[in-house]
Structure 1
């Protein structure tokens, strides 16, 4: 027998300033109705999972409109993750003393522990295939590395450490192959699981995401990632360089129009912290299945046609747009107006 435990932590969104007359007080967790008992299972599988979700804390203090941003590509962990959020009770957020809905994010880990052995680390078979695939990637033998990576993921990738390493290696493979959508998706998985990577790879994964966001003109996202990079690097980073980069990113935000494109992968939600007051999102091909803007003080839902010049004032606090599609879809994102505070 082994124990099965849920390991969770709240991924807090970065707070932003709003007008003094519109003071937003975030929600406060006051009760967790989930069982604290470990669940026993007779299965000795080493498989673990994770689910990254966005939700609104509604005016009644309940998790509402739960949406899965990304997960460990095993649907079995999603229902338990949603149920966990539904059993949390909050003191709702308020604006000027009135209850309001409020955007939160949650990264839930489904970890396993055994009575006699830890489920940490990697197996010998995983290490062998990982090293072989890495060597093929370094030599440019991408057909060989692709086959090895497929076997690695399907057969030997079980716990969160192995999933983090596999995501990193997949991102490296697809970068070499110049498959930018797959590169981005696996790079994001590696970033989400950065705490399970060796320190050097955790820093590289965070840096890669930062470079990607700057390249895609997602400057507000890049600012958040840069803040994360300073934490991951734990002082092993040039503070003057970081300060200069932050100045440059804030200057880029001042451009009157920020126009970029992105690809939506099925099975995941593309998210972006809004950087201007006005937002337009239009599908270039395919059809969107999920388009929402969620803020510290409100939620806006749109049809699959996207948003056309949606105006979002500072009184809404921090705002993120979430976009989903049933098949790979390209979108155009145009942001105009003054920089959101």
Structure 2
């Protein structure tokens, strides 16, 4: 297996790394959108995070990575096998967390799945060939240049993201399977904007920039050069830090349900969203969920103002209406509202 650049070895880009870790602690937040300059480690960070995560338990032989601990969210095949097994438990195996690339030019059949032509022609059997959405279940679906994604693929993603399952009704097939994944999109704002409907589906939005200070730039280049020259040795050198971060992430996932969300935190989140004029309530929901995940990651017992303050920009910057009377960007507007609410 080809070595992956360690997540803990990524220099700078703290907002991006924090957002990805939060999405890993609570995948229900809705994914991460990363906009910024080319060559700033966006795709490297996504693959590094997946490699950092512990292997996941799946039903052995399941094409959709169904969890043996979530019978209610299993595919039809796993439900049938569970019924036949009765009290006997299905076999379980450990597999790496998947990171699936969604190419911009992918066909609809490639994304959602289609008739398995090989079996249809050779055996006369109508069988379903799973697509990218099936492979990404319980993992990451990665879209590079998400702002250039074709409209018909955007519509597909919106449907699946809303329901958590993929429904295929075509060519005599009627298939329904779970498809829950952390959606991670990257792009360059100079090449166009995302459709508002898709933009709203991302839980967090972060901006990455090329480092402007000399020590950081040198550190980034040095680490990347060391990795390219001897990947195995570089990965081994960061294994202790990766192990520590992995244990912290696993503990945060286990701790998450017990983290308290006080009424005061809910009121603060609502005040901030009202001040910014965000549409709907998705802003508040995402803000408090992300703050709770951050609190859990930092081993806090309850969500405080500091957690809300630190995650507010990532959770809200992509949910603001354009204000023709305010030339400041969305990031500046959120930061200004945060300062007015929490103080400098």
Q: TM-score, normalised by structure 2?
A: 0.24
Higher relative contact order (CA 8 A, sep 6+): 2
